[in-house]
Structure 1
Amino acid sequence: MKWEGVSLGVLSALFRKIDPREIVRIVRDRPTGAYARRTWFLYEWLMDARLDLPDAGKVKAVPVVDPRQQFAPESGPLSRRHRVRNNLPGTRWFCPLVRRTPQLERYVHMRLGERAREVLGRTHPDVVRRAAAFLLLEDSQASFQIEGEHPTPDRGLRWGQAIGEAGQRDLAIDELVRLQELVIGDSRFVELGLRTEGGWIGDRDRGTRDPIPEHISARPDDLADLMRGAVEYGRRTEQTAVDPVISAAVLSFGFVYIHPFEDGNGRLHRWLIHHVLARAGYNPPHVVFPVSVPMLRRISEYREVLRSYSSQVLPLVEWRATRRHNVEVLNETVDFYRFFDATAHAEFLYGCVEETVMRDLPREVAYLEGYDEFSRRVQEEVADMPDQTIDLLSRFLRQNRGKLSRRARTREFERLTPKEVEQVEALYASCFPSEAPEGAGYRNTADP
């Protein structure tokens, strides 16, 4: 506790092995000691048991988690019995913790949410609206691509709408089930709701079709309690001063490790990020940070972060293959999903938020402002073209690095004179001094 902070998983495993009288002896030896009282509180909290000890006397209360070591509220409800303040961010059914690292401290001090609002505060509302619409669609598409899926346009738009509405409803298991049905689309072949069988991720043996897991999910018998704990954690984050990106990483990655549903877990994992940030008011109003986009760009790092914990847990899970080629977990594993160190996950998510705020958002705004300037000047200085024609012209120019290809000159824009082509190319270069955002040219820019 003094040097490494609180590790709930280690303490839970330890408390199950030792004689409770050992804790009693520690407290009796130093009844006013801060570490003795914290240990006493954590034993009774984790084991849901009361030790043979009288309540602590009048002594200064201390927090259970040192907020200088780990991300936790500065204070919390006072336990008069132990004279400690319970500032744990979750409950005994879900409470991963994040260590304070130099990298996370740097991210927190950047105040990325405020920076995003500053960028948009200097931007015309119409450009903000169009940028928000595109970023929302882009996040939806990237989220499906991460899963290796190519949804129909209608399904992609529906999921984009669900992302845009994140944070508008209270977090609840029923709400997550509703979203699961939405993201799956055709639910005839998928059991909706909490799993009733084992869950795993990995490959299959080609001969037997038995699992070769890289990750084994929580046991079905533990899902109800784990999900109640995760939902309660999400609700508590709305009432504490813990950094929203940290809380979003804990909840979302905890959810994907639990893997409560038969299908749809990955996209719901990323939806939870949007939910936590929106409830905290972290992102600008009506603007979704498209965190799935940098996740897709950094897909190898994303997968490595997921594996970093799964690879530690897998050797500790005893399992066997079932007749239906699923997994059946044979030992107690619930602590692996409710108590884990989410520091690497928080660092990764914060890196994605930084990319969104410092790169994607300003570049999209700059592109739209450049496009509007290009459209206006083409109509004023070259030819009075319809919006759709100007949009097509800008696409051709962008695809060919600001030059109109021979094909475009002889077909779609054969009516432009050589002088007008030179004018258009010069206008494009002045309106787009730097390269436009990836993918920005492949949409109706005038009204996405």
Structure 2
Amino acid sequence: MHKRLHENKPVGYEELIRRNSLHVLPHYVTSFVTEGMGRRHTVIKDHRRDEYYPKPYYPGDNLCDHITFALKHEGVNLEILSAIFQQTPATEIEGHVRSTPTGKYARLIWFLYEYLTGKELDLEPVKIANYVDLLDEEFYFVGQKEAVSRQKVNNNLLGDRRYSPMVRKTEALKKYLEINFQKRTEDVVGRYPEDLLQRAISYLYFKETKSSFEIERATPDQKRAARFVELLKSADKTNFFTKDNIIMLQQAIVDSRFANEDFRKDQNYVGQSLGFGREIVHFISPRPEDLPDLMEGMFKCHEMMAASRVHPVIAATIIAFGFVFMHPFDDGNGRIHRFLIHNILATTKFTPDDIIFPVSATLVQNMKHYDETLELFSKPLLPLIDYDITDTGEMKVNNDTSLHYRFIDMTAIAERMFWFIETTIEKELVSELDLLVNYSKAKSCIQDIVDMPDRLIDLFIRICRENGGRLSQNKRKSLFDMLTDGEVVSLEECVKKAFSLKEPQL
């Protein structure tokens, strides 16, 4: 038999996964070394890619050779490294470090082994060497540097070993970082009169509340809707992402019968019931016994990012999406997830004072895009979880899954988060403000014709607008029989003109 001329050998993380039969989330890049001597080339697949290296790049056959290749060419993947170190004898790492005790990648491997396992290796501290950063800040969003003298490594992760997602500085994210979103927002609102903006704020709070519930196909009663509005109004004044505050928030926005006193004690999941005990499962959250540690890690990560002045949209992505992936409550997780976006953007002053971005309204208008964003994590996660579901819909997770939720690569999610915010400012905010301008025109026109109570004017505008500029005969008789036929025609014209509505086709 002839050997294939150009056989591709997996290297780095892909080889580590294959060799150790790891059940982990895939790394964003898969690397191969070819038998040929051609140039390195890249094949892009959505937000992932394959890298092909010529033969001289082959790192060697032992485990630390491939870890070194991964750290050098593929970046830091804490989930894969944690899983590897759980299977690796300490002596293997010690032997590798002793062979190059001051080498950059040997020290990084040594630091990561001790950091992720909590075990100290039988090695003497490095005495003569320059400090090296764990994450390259040209390539990653990073936290404040913590100098670790033992290995002469600067730990600049965004969180700690309990929860520390990664966000890479892709070309898309670099472009978003160049945009002055505050200036864009000021330019948008500057087109509208001050008195309208003052009225718009209350409307935008209500709109955001309605949209956030609508995403979950829920209709809140007036009290819960009013509570959510009041919470949104205080989003710029309070850090809601503490354990006490997040529990208070959940209790305020859900039916009191489903309010939690603490994080959930049962396994929950997101699925679709087909009846007769059959379920299509879309997402499985962490086991309840893993939640306390994960959530404490999230709270710490939030504190660390605030101290490091991490970009507000990156911080909002890591906390808000991390929260919905944790799903720590029996109900209300989605609404809290979206509320946290507002809370973080407002407290970091990313959102200008006296304005609210109707982000949930943008999500409602782009539900497919929103669902796909959540699926960036949930889809590759699902095959890694071993679970059983009873006839009553109760789930039990049989394997240890906590590692999958600790070090999520949120790069692609952050890219979409920026897109949602840009779309909110450029389209949704403009649309909502234009709607209020048109409403004011219609109301003023109606008041010039008939001196009706505001409630009836609002009702007439809403019904007429929803019906293409016409008032149906049934609504005419049941709600506006006090108006003459001529008045109704004139009021319809007010609405059609204000909202640029065309006559419906018969």
TM-score range, shorter chain: 0.7 to 0.9
Helix, strand or coil: the match of 1:261? coil
Partner of 1:111: 180
Partner of 1:307: 375
Amino acid paired to 1:84? V
Cα displacement string for residues 148-200 of structure 1 (whole angstroms, at most 9, x for unaligned residues): 1112122222122222322433321121111111121232x565421112222
CA distance in 1, matches of 2:471, 2:314: 48
Alignment partner, residue 25 of structure 2:
none
**Would the aligned equivalents of 1:70 and 1:98 in 2 still touch at CA under 8 Å?**
yes
Unaligned runs of 5+ in 2: 1-70
Partner of 2:266: 197
The answer to whether the Cα contact below 8 Å between 1:211 and 1:326 also exists between their aligned partners in 2 is no
TM-score, structure 1 as length reference: 0.84
Distance 2:471 2:207 in 1: 28
Q: Give the match for residue 288 of structure 1.
A: 356
Q: Does 1:3 align with 2:73?
A: yes
Distance 1:121 1:239 in 2: 32
CA distance in 2, matches of 1:326, 1:47: 33
| 1:19-418 mapped onto 2 (5 Å cutoff) | 19-73=89-143, 75-121=144-190, 123-170=192-239, 171-187=241-257, 191-204=260-273, 206-207=275-276, 209=277, 212-321=280-389, 325-372=393-440, 383=449, 385=451, 388=454, 395=462, 398-399=465-466, 412=483, 414=485, 416=487
Q: Is the 8 A contact 1:177 1:193 kept in 2?
A: yes
Give 1:412 deviation, angstroms: 3.9
Partner amino acid, structure 1, of 2:91: R
SS of the residue 2:376 aligns to: helix
Aligned equivalents of 1:372, 1:321: Cα separation in 2: 54
- Distance in 1 (CA, whole Å) between partners of 2:275 and 2:492 is 60
8 A contact 1:254–1:338 mirrored in 2: no
Contact in 1 for aligned 2:247/2:260 (Cα 8 Å): no
Contact 2:324–2:337, Cα closer than 8 Å, also in 1: yes
What secondary structure, in the 3-state scheme, does the structure 2 residue paired with 1:215 have? Answer: strand
CA contact (8 A) 2:250 2:259 kept: no
- What SS does structure 1 have at the residue aligned with 2:164? coil
1:445 match: none
Give the SS at the match of 2:281.
strand
- Of the two, which has the highest radius of gyration? 2
In terms of fraction of residues, the more strand-rich structure is 2
Deviation, 1:400, is: 6.2
Superposition deviation, residue 424 in structure 1: 4.8
The amino acid of 1:172's aligned partner reads T
Compare 405-414 and 312-321 and name the one that shifted more. Answer: 405-414
Shift of 1:218: 0.7
Equivalent-residue separation in structure 1 for 2:472 and 2:342 (angstroms): 45
Per-residue CA deviation, residues 252-292 of structure 1 (Å, 9 max, x unaligned), is 22111111112211111111211211221111113221211
In structure 2, relative to structure 1, the CA distance for the partners of 1:29 and 1:125 (3 Å cut) is farther
Match of 1:441 in 2: none
Residue 31 of structure 1: SS of its match in structure 2? coil
Question: d(CA) in 2 for partners of 1:246 and 1:117?
Answer: 21
Give the equivalent residue in structure 1 for 2:17.
Answer: none
TM-score (norm. length: structure 2): 0.75
Q: Quick one: which amino acid aligns to residue 173 of structure 2?
A: L
SS in 2 for 1:349: helix
Distance 1:377 1:142 in 2: 29
Distance 1:422-1:336 versus aligned 2 partners, 3 A rule: closer
Aligned mates of 1:195, 1:366 — CA distance in 2 = 43
Aligned residues: 425
The question of whether the paired residues in 2 share the 8 Å contact of 1:62 and 1:83 is answered with yes
Question: CA 1:148 to 1:16, structure 2 compared with 1: closer, same or farther past 3 Å?
Answer: same
Deviation at 1:344, TM superposition (A): 2.4
* SS of the residue 1:201 aligns to: strand
Please give the alpha-carbon distance, in whole angstroms, between the structure 1 residues aligned to 2:89 and 2:124. Answer: 18
Cα 1:203–1:378 change in 2 (3 A) is: closer
Structure 1 residues 110-162: Cα deviation after superposition (integer angstroms, max 9, x where no partner)? 22233213433554443222222112111111111111111212222212222
Which amino acid in structure 2 is aligned with residue 81 of structure 1? R
Q: How far does residue 93 in structure 1 lie from its aligned partner after superposition? A: 0.8
Checking the alignment, whether the CA contact within 8 Å between 2:446 and 2:491 is kept in structure 1 is: no
Contact 1:192-1:261 within 8 A present in 2 as well: no
Query: Could you say what the CA RMSD is over the residues aligned between the two structures, in angstroms?
Result: 3.1
- For 1:185 and 1:320, how far apart are their aligned partners in 2? 28
SS at match of 1:2: helix
What's the CA shift string for 1:390-414, capped at 9, x where partnerless? 656655774566x666967997464
Whether contact under 8 Å (2:267, 2:288) holds in the other structure is yes
Q: 1:318 to 1:8 in 2, by over 3 A?
A: same
Which residue number in structure 1 is paired with residue 31 of structure 2? none
The one-letter amino acid paired with 1:132 is I
Q: Provide, for residues 418-437 of structure 1, a one-character-per-residue CA deviation record: whole Å limited to 9, x for no partner.
A: 8x779957xx75x66799xx
In 2, the alpha carbon distance for the partners of 1:152 and 1:92 equals 41
1:30–1:241 Cα change, 3 Å? farther
Residue of structure 2 in register with 1:443 after alignment? none
Match of 1:442 in 2: none
Distance 1:397 1:316 in 2: 52
1:197 is paired with a residue whose SS is coil
CA distance in 1, matches of 2:288, 2:235: 27
